[in-house]
């Protein structure tokens, strides 16, 4: 039943996305002009950090849904700045990994945004539906500290974890 709800939401999103087209403006013979550059407002500025590649070990965290519940294994992981985590979908999906921006220092938030490819939204990795799918996050450039993460679809069921970044 959980999957049916996700399928309905996903289907609705795809339907709305398909409606976003429309007619294009008629072609003219006038030469193209370049629009003036606009600066982004300070509140919407791009993250300070640029994406940084993994320079150390890649650790694996499994995402599981089974008769014991929904969980990450291991749920707590310690790594060095420069390491990465490969989140691997095992069972009970859909799963993803996300961080709460309100709990992160600004520099960490900016670096994680830069280091998380293919985000579904800010600090939220893509949804994984099939066993064997993987999503890797670099912790290069991330300030040492403890950072909590969670699975968006299973947060209410306690699917949470934490990463401890050391120097």
**pLDDT digits 0-9 by tens, 34-73:** 444 444 444 343 345 699 999 999 999 999 999 999 999 9
Phi/psi of residue 49, nearest 5 degrees: -85, 145
Ordered by start, the domain boundaries in the chain are: 48-166
Contact indicator for 17, 101 with CB cutoff of 8 Å: no
pLDDT tens, position by position, 119-161: 999 999 999 999 999 999 999 999 999 999 999 999 999 999 9
pLDDT tens, position by position, 42-53: 434 334 569 999
Q: Could you tell me the two tokens for 45?
A: 């500025």
pLDDT at 60: 98
Please give the torsion angle defined by the CA atoms of residues 28, 29, 34 and 36, in that order, rounded to the nearest 10 degrees. -60
* CATH number attached to the domain at 48-166: 2.60.40.420
Residue 7's alpha-carbon distances to 119, 122, 129, 153, in angstroms, are 19, 22, 11, 12
CB atoms within 10 A of CB 163: 22
Q: How far apart are CA 108 and CA 113, in angstroms?
A: 8
């Amino acid at each position: 039943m959980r999957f049916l709800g996700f399928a309905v939401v996903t289907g609705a999103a795809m339907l709305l996305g398909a409606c976003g087209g429309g007619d294009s403006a008629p072609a003219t013979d006038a030469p193209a002009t370049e629009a003036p550059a606009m600066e982004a407002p300070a509140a919407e500025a791009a993250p300070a950090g640029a994406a940084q590649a993994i320079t150390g070990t890649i650790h694996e965290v499994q995402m599981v849904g089974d008769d014991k519940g929904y969980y990450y294994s291991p749920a707590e992981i310690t790594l060095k700045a420069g390491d990465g985590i490969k989140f691997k979908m095992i069972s009970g999906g859909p799963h993803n990994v996300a961080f709460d921006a309100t709990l992160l220092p600004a520099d960490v938030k900016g670096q994680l945004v830069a280091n998380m490819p293919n985000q579904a939204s800010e600090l939220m990795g893509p949804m994984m539906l099939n066993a064997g799918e993987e999503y890797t996050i670099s912790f290069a450039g991330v300030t040492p500290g403890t950072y909590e993460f969670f699975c968006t679809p299973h947060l209410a069921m306690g699917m949470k974890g934490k990463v401890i970044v050391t120097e």
